[in-house]
Amino acid sequence: MHGQIAIGAIALFAALGAQRAAEAAEAWPAKPVRIVVASTAGSTPDVLARILGENLSPMLKQPVIVDNKPGAGGIVGIDSVAKAAPDGYTLTIGHDGTMAINTVIYKKLPYDPARDFTPIAELALNEFVLIAHPSTGVKTFADFVAFVKKANGDATYASAGPGTPNHVFMEQLAKALGVTMRHVPYKGGAAAVTDVAGGQVQFMLAGIAPALPQIRGERVTPVAVVQGKRAAILPNVPTVGESVPGFSLKTWFGLFAPAKMSPEIVARLNRDVLEILSRPDVKDRLSAQGMMIETGTPAALGALVQSDIKRYQQLAKEIKLEAN
């Protein structure tokens, strides 16, 4: 009898807990929602967060605030979200750099991408462009190959930091060409692009969004894009694959929350995000920033994180990417 009473009490408490969680989710959001961006203002994740936030705010009937927390290859910002309350008021834009590459780059990563986050929805694929400072004289991909081979390891390239996609992508490109280059890391993509435009560094595989103003101002030369097809915003810039058959790279962005967030809030956010990303004006704005929409279910984003962790761990061995 006592055992039956105890089991009944446990079941009652579980039901009450589930009911309170559902009630809390139904009342959400009751205050502003924050999207943490683990990179500087003007970076591609920042641009994406701001477009998403301004469209999400009227749907949630609450302000959506973008909070930039750059540093340490995205660790500072992403870790702050991993340690935040899973109440739906703290979200983040994660990408394959913060959620997969960092597991290879850092021996003591303070967060576990597969365990410490609730995936909400994949958002978009980022497009990258190889840019060169005009002083190099590089205008075509063939020029670039000739330049770096002649430099014999002394050609320099910038990145948003160790382990960021533009660092890993350039190492993959160098390996494909059989060359070496000197890596100059920065604390964000925008600062790196600025220094390439200023001539402090010769090359960079930059996200198209931060590179566009410098390209349009003719302060840098767009040489090639690394994705499988030409970018809509840069239709006259060839792909690397047109010169190196089979070479194609991409990076993705997704919306995440701290682990153990209410399934009801996850479902609401996923539904709202997919609706926003289906809007023609949003598609046009993202395309103009060098992003291509690709989205889906929370489960699909979670699976993508786990598969990319395995893929980059294998890639690290191939390009000799060592942990810090």
pLDDT of residue 99: 95
| Residue among 309, 257, 299 nearest 100 (CA) | 309
pLDDT of residue 101: 87
pLDDT of residue 190: 85
pLDDT of residue 74: 87
Which CATH architecture describes the domain 31-126+251-318?
A: 3-Layer(aba) Sandwich (3.40)
pLDDT of residue 323: 61
Beta strands 64-68 and 33-37, pairing class = parallel
CATH topology of 31-126+251-318 equal to that of 128-242? yes
CA distance 214 to 194: 8
Does the global pTM surpass 0.85?
Answer: no
Q: In what order do the strands lie in the sheet with 156-159?
A: 182-185, 156-159, 203-207, 128-132, 221-225
pLDDT of residue 1: 58
| Contacts (Cβ under 8 Å, ≥6 apart) of 57 | 63, 64
pLDDT of residue 138: 98
| Contacts (Cβ under 8 Å, ≥6 apart) of 262 | 21, 22, 24, 25, 28, 86, 88
In the block, residue with structure tokens 């160790």: 162
Please report, for the chain, the start and end positions of each structural domain, with discontinuous segments joined by +. 31-126+251-318, 128-242
What is the fold of 128-242? D-Maltodextrin-Binding Protein; domain 2 (3.40.190)
Assign residue 239 a region (left: φ > 0; alpha: ψ between -120 and 50; beta: otherwise): beta
Q: Do residues 254 and 95 make contact, with C-beta atoms less than 8 angstroms apart?
A: yes
pLDDT along the chain (324 residues), means of 10: 56 52 72 95 89 98 96 90 98 94 87 97 94 98 98 95 84 93 89 96 92 96 94 94 93 96 98 98 90 94 95 81 64
